[in-house]
Chain A
Amino acid sequence: MSRAIRRGVPAILVAVTLAGLTIGAQAPAGRGRAGQNAAPAPPAATATGEPLSALAPENLNKPRPKAPFDLTGNWFISGSVPGGGWLFGRTPAVLPKLTPNAQKHFDAYAAAVKEGKVYRDDIGQCWPAGMPVIMTRVWPITMIQLPTAVYMMSEFMNSLRVIYTDGRPHTDPDVVVRTFNGESIGKWEGDTLVVDTRYFTDLDKHWVDQGIPASKDFRMIERYKLINNGNTLEGEWTLIDPQNWEGEWKGTRRWNRVNDHDIQEVECLPDMNQHLQSTSSSVHIR
């Protein structure tokens, strides 16, 4: 039995890893040139026109330009960018002009901190953190890159995020199921992976950071490159949410490759908060 299975890592990641290894072994040589600017390939489909899964062998083996880099590995947020690392509980270095709705939350959060209280810590109450928090907290992230998708699993509550790179468009907004991580569609532009994430939840439990809410109109554009001989992932982020701030909120994040850690199963258990007064005491403002 593999170590990943023994450690309780969700079966999907194991399956994806195995699929990647199998496909990697079968992949025809010369699938494409690295760094090539390629128009998004049309989505693969079955004979009856149904879209193929990202893990369908026919989709995985479809000829397409070779990706310029491979994100497969474990990554950990770097604090090397001022205001771009761990924002949890701290005021970001650069804040956009907040709308009255967001300003109300941010002021209440700031006042709570002054009083030694906690404002709307929904994550502590076991609500999903969602994007972007699953990538900015101090928890490692496993990434597995296939020709059709990048599977990301944060150790932070084992949150799964999939970036589809097989040419599919975003889902019809009348059909899509809104989530805390949104729907991510990626494409390669030269040496950069560009990801467009939309369709976030409309529940008022989703936060960009403490005191800064994310609405259903929240959208992220991420541009990723590998630097430092492939050991550092750098992302230029553009955050858009007209319900909560004006214009584009831009920032840089970096993650360092981690070779001495495999993610574990981390769950917010129903009885856990009973033993953690930081989540159950009277200092919480809900």
Chain B
Amino acid sequence: MASALAVGIVTPLLAHHSPAAFEATKTVTLVGTVKEFRWQNPHSWIEMMVPNDKGQEVLWAVELTSPTYLVKGGWKSNTLKPGDKVTVVGRPLKTGEPGSAIFTSVTLADSRTLTERPARLGGPATP
């Protein structure tokens, strides 16, 4: 079931496109089943089926950062597989349209929660 709640931390997306259409802080929680998980640059993505308020299955596409940063957050290419039951938190479209969100976190069937590492690489302190 999709529901909205507020969170205070937003991880910047390593994006090749504009994030203007997405909420900056408001999030949606998606409880559903993984249809496909794509591990690739510049974005990985999760497609999952999520029942709406009427019990109808709705396809949601959740966009993640690149594998470089997912690896640093503990992900592997096989972290998600079709059929996995997961809870995903993401930032939905500002228009309120269902079906699309930018990833914030996922809780797996084994109760582990994974996020993205912020799009910031190691290096010296900034002057």
B contact face: mostly helix, strand, loop, or mixed: loop
Complex-state Cα separation, A21 to B43, whole angstroms: 34
Complex-state Cα separation, A268 to B41, whole angstroms: 8
Whether the pair B93, A283 counts as a contact (CB closer than 8 A) is yes
Complex-state Cα separation, A48 to B30, whole angstroms: 69
Choice from A121, A232, A276 contacting B45 with Cβ under 8 Å: A276
Cβ contacts under 8 Å, A259 to chain B:
122-123
Q: What are the 3 tightest A-B residue pairs by CB atom distance, in nearest-first order?
A: A116-B94, A124-B17, A277-B100
Complex-state Cα separation, A156 to B65, whole angstroms: 13
* Interchain pairs with CB closer than 8 A, number: 127
Q: Does A281 belong to the interface (CB within 8 Å)?
A: yes
- Decide: A276 near B43, CB < 8 A? Known: A88-B18, A89-B20, A281-B93: yes
Q: What are 27 pairs between A and B in contact, CB < 8 Å?
A: A76-B123, A78-B126, A88-B18, A89-B19, A113-B20, A116-B94, A116-B95, A118-B18, A119-B20, A121-B20, A138-B14, A156-B16, A227-B127, A254-B126, A261-B68, A264-B66, A267-B41, A268-B16, A269-B40, A272-B43, A276-B45, A278-B17, A278-B22, A281-B97, A281-B100, A283-B93, A283-B94
Give the residues from 265 to 281 in chain A that come closer than 8 angstroms, CB to CB, to chain B: 265-269, 272, 275-279, 281
Q: How large is the interface on B (under 10, 10 to 19, 20 to 34, 35 or more residues)?
A: 35 or more
Cβ contacts under 8 Å, B126 to chain A:
78-80, 232, 254, 256
Q: Does A139 belong to the interface (CB within 8 Å)?
A: yes
Nearest B-chain residue to A230, judged by Cβ: B124
Cβ contacts under 8 Å, A157 to chain B:
16, 42
Whether the pair A278, B19 counts as a contact (CB closer than 8 A) is yes
Whether the pair A278, B122 counts as a contact (CB closer than 8 A) is no
Q: Does A204 belong to the interface (CB within 8 Å)?
A: no
Interface string of A115-130 (1 = CB under 8 A from B): 1111101011000000
Q: Does A172 belong to the interface (CB within 8 Å)?
A: no
Nearest B-chain residue to A86, judged by Cβ: B12
**Closest CB of chain A to B28's CB: distance in Å?**
14
Choice from B18, B93, B121, B124 contacting A140 with Cβ under 8 Å: B121
Q: Does A17 belong to the interface (CB within 8 Å)?
A: no
Whether the pair A281, B41 counts as a contact (CB closer than 8 A) is no
Complex-state Cα separation, A123 to B42, whole angstroms: 12
